[in-house]
Structure 1
Amino acid sequence: MTEHVTITREPGGVCLVRMTRPEKKNALTGAMYDAMREALVAADREGSEIGAVVFAGVEGAFTAGNDIADFVARASQSVGEAPSLRFIRQLAATRTPMVAAVDGIAVGIGTTLTLHCDLVYATPRALFRMPFVDLGLVPEAGSSYLLPRRIGTAKATELLMLAEPFGGDEAVRLGLANAVVPADALVEHALAQGAKLAAKPRAALAATRALIRGDHAAVAAAMDAEAQAFDAALRTPEAQAAFRAFLDKGRARA
């Protein structure tokens, strides 16, 4: 476990998974990915006690995406062993309903994570972005498959290839979020919605959820294809240069 992810049991059968690394804008380390994956596994295992999982960050930051320094340090791992990929696969496999409470930046996995959530709420200052191509990489978390089916190929191409950022209102307009909520009410609102889900008849809710989500095998296949392409992209000069530039910028600020 890690001190940068806090996991609490909330009233109404809701598990709150909160990323708490504000000094790094919740940039995710391997330990943070592992802690969140374990929380999802536990939620499925304890289905009679937990009826929903809510993901949240800190004020002004859902997550800045991968911690690049931690990511580079793990470069010798095979892609299949990466904590990020294990978490992503668990997101797609989790049977417990999931809710995202997005305040501030939601970069990379901060956006693609929400594609696996059943309900998504954002604040007026939420800012979603998937800058994979800008880093010399490719999309992950099944986003290359899920996003075109959610919002159409043209808009998905814009968001994934041009890496255009978009706010909470646009996320609602596109159907990627359910509502924009004031920042001071965001987590409370997400927990309340999670509790509503947890109070529903579990079998009927699970069956409805499975029908809505469709073929898990197709999502898993897309994730596998992305993982292979991601692994190859990591070794390209473009990705290596992008990582070096990011790390050098961080050292200059230190």
Structure 2
Amino acid sequence: MSSSRNLVVVENVGAVRVLELNDPERRNALSGDMRLALLAAFDDIAVDPTCMAVVLTGSGGAFSAGGDLSNMPPSSLTDSRGRLNLMADLIRSIADLRVPVVAAVEGPAAGAGMSIALACDQVVAARSSTFVASFVHVGLGPDAGLSWLLPRRVGVGKAAEILMLGERIDGESAVSTGIADRLADDGAARKAATDLAGRLAGKAPLALAAIKRLLLPLPVSLNEALAAEQAAQVPLLASADFLEGKAAFYERRPATFSGR
């Protein structure tokens, strides 16, 4: 079943929720209305126990052209802060979500569009997709978390090169540098991402949520990582899912996890 929420089309594929940015005339630019619609969609997922994984993609052969330049500069410093706060809320909603999020990138993922792709847990890129940190081309610094998200994937030196030069990076190069995780043929990124999300949806949900929490604050010191792992693992060892997983391992069968 699918439904349209104006700028975001929502489709359920089993336990996978597919969110499609739907403003193809503007290459799915992240206008204020688009940000609010996408934030509302993630808020719905956060309280929906039937959703086990998410795919984020765009319509019309584009992922997202990023910020809506037609509405810039903002009218005041207060307006600027409000827009950035809304974008920050959106990035946090993706990163903090209890279930894995897979980006399916066809066409451009530019500026803040690149940020929301990299906020996802996995990125599937079509061969002809392009990633570009376009902020420098309009005299701006990176926002929407890109100065933190990008170095985690490619390292500080490469991130500086990408942010300072603002050059387009195709899908194959994105995978080789670590910006993206999987390469798909053109037109096949959404299916590949949905297949991956379907596999993730079958994993133990409490364990996936713990993995997300552990990876989110990286880099951390070894002692901080050990303490965080212990805090996550102790309740997991007492969960019904662990007992089911252990039983399934010994019985050589697929586990059926309940999220308890």
The normalised TM-score by structure 1 is 0.77
**Offset of 1:90 from its aligned partner?**
2.2
As a proportion of its length, which structure holds more helix?
A: 1
- Cα distance between partner residues in 1 of 2:58 and 2:78: 27
Query: Which of 45, 48, 51 is equivalent to 2:47?
Result: 45
Matches within 5 A, 1:26-65: 26-46=28-48, 48-65=49-66
Q: Evaluate the alpha carbon distance shift between residue 32 and residue 75 of structure 1 in structure 2; reply closer, same or farther with a 3 A threshold.
A: farther
SS in 2 for 1:16: strand
- Cα distance between partner residues in 1 of 2:212 and 2:31: 30
Matches within 5 A, 1:12-23: 13-23=15-25
Say if 1:172 and 1:178, in contact at 8 Å, map to a contact too. yes
Asked if residue 187 in structure 1 is aligned to residue 190 in structure 2, the reply is: yes
Q: Which has the higher contact order (CA 8 A, sep 6+)?
A: 1
- Cα distance between partner residues in 2 of 1:215 and 1:182: 31
- Cα distance between partner residues in 2 of 1:187 and 1:213: 25
The count of aligned residue pairs is 215
- The residue identity in structure 2 corresponding to 1:186 is A
Greater Cα shift, 26-35 or 91-100: 91-100
Q: Evaluate the alpha carbon distance shift between residue 22 and residue 44 of structure 1 in structure 2; reply closer, same or farther with a 3 A threshold.
A: same
Deviations 1:182-240 (A, max 9, x none): 223221221111111111111111112222233599xxxxxxxxxxxxxxxxxxxxxxx
SS in 1 for 2:189: helix
**Moved runs in structure 1, 4+ residues, more than 6 A?**
none
Q: Evaluate the alpha carbon distance shift between residue 4 and residue 75 of structure 1 in structure 2; reply closer, same or farther with a 3 A threshold.
A: farther
SS in 2 for 1:154: helix
Say if 1:66 and 1:108, in contact at 8 Å, map to a contact too. yes
Say if 2:125 and 2:183, in contact at 8 Å, map to a contact too. yes
SS in 1 for 2:150: helix
Say if 1:40 and 1:90, in contact at 8 Å, map to a contact too. yes
- Cα distance between partner residues in 2 of 1:125 and 1:72: 31
Say if 2:87 and 2:144, in contact at 8 Å, map to a contact too. no
Instruction: Specify every segment of 5 or more residues in structure 2 that has no aligned partner in the other structure, as ranges.
Output: 221-260
SS in 1 for 2:158: helix
Matches within 5 A, 1:92-241: 92-214=95-217
- The residue identity in structure 1 corresponding to 2:66 is G
Say if 1:91 and 1:116, in contact at 8 Å, map to a contact too. yes
- Cα distance between partner residues in 2 of 1:39 and 1:216: 29
Asked which structure has the greater CA Rg, the reply is 2
Deviations 1:54-101 (A, max 9, x none): 111124211111121234466564444323333223233322211000
Task: Give RMSD over aligned pairs.
Answer: 2.2
